[in-house]
Amino acid sequence: DFLPLKCDACGEAFCKDHIRYDDHKCSSAYKKNVQVPVCPLCNTPIPVQRGEIPDIVVGAHIDKDCKYNPAQQKQKIFTNKCTKAGCKRKEMMKVVCEQCGGSFCIKHRHPLDHDCRGGSQPISKA
């Protein structure tokens, strides 16, 4: 408890209560106590030069270089709407009829299920 501890920034000796940079107002703390701010939107580290205020640098990053895209988080997965009249289902993958070329849901994917008019005869009675 009474052994002196050497500050790794300024090299002076302190007790356990004053070894922290803030506790002994270390003049060389800037050499060791380096913190890199992170953009709250895109989570990328922002380099700050010595003497610059981190809040101002992060604000400039948000205004100019930030790659944050709020629309990217809310992209819809189910975007392929069934073209059968009266059906409102949407599928994740596009299901295209080989005869008419229409996009349908799983329930209406077969030519007989969506009253296909593309070919002369349906391929099978699925």
Sequence-distant (6+) residues with CB within 8 A of 9 are 21, 26, 28, 29, 31, 32, 33
Whether residue 26 is contained in a domain is answered as yes
CATH number of the CATH domain containing 86: 4.10.1110.10
pLDDT tens, position by position, 90-124? 888 888 988 888 899 999 998 888 888 776 555 55
Instruction: Indicate whether 21 and 49 sit together in one domain.
Output: no
Instruction: Indicate whether 20 and 45 sit together in one domain.
Output: no
pTM: predicted TM-score of the whole model, two decimal places: 0.38
pLDDT tens, position by position, 31-90? 776 778 999 888 889 988 877 888 899 999 888 888 886 655 556 677 889 988 899 998
**Is 87 exposed, middle or buried (CB count within 10 Å of its CB: 0-12, 13-18, 19+)?**
middle
Whether residue 99 is contained in a domain is answered as yes
Instruction: Indicate whether 69 and 91 sit together in one domain.
Output: no
Instruction: Indicate whether 59 and 94 sit together in one domain.
Output: no
Both structure tokens of 64: 């100019």
Whether residue 52 is contained in a domain is answered as yes
Q: Which residue, chain included where needed, has tokens 């060389």?
A: 28
- Are the C-beta atoms of residues 108 and 115 closer than 8 Å to each other? no
Whether residue 124 is contained in a domain is answered as no
Q: What range defines the domain where residue 11 resides?
A: 1-33
Number of helices (H), then strands (E), in the chain: 3, 6
State the total domains in the chain. Answer: 3
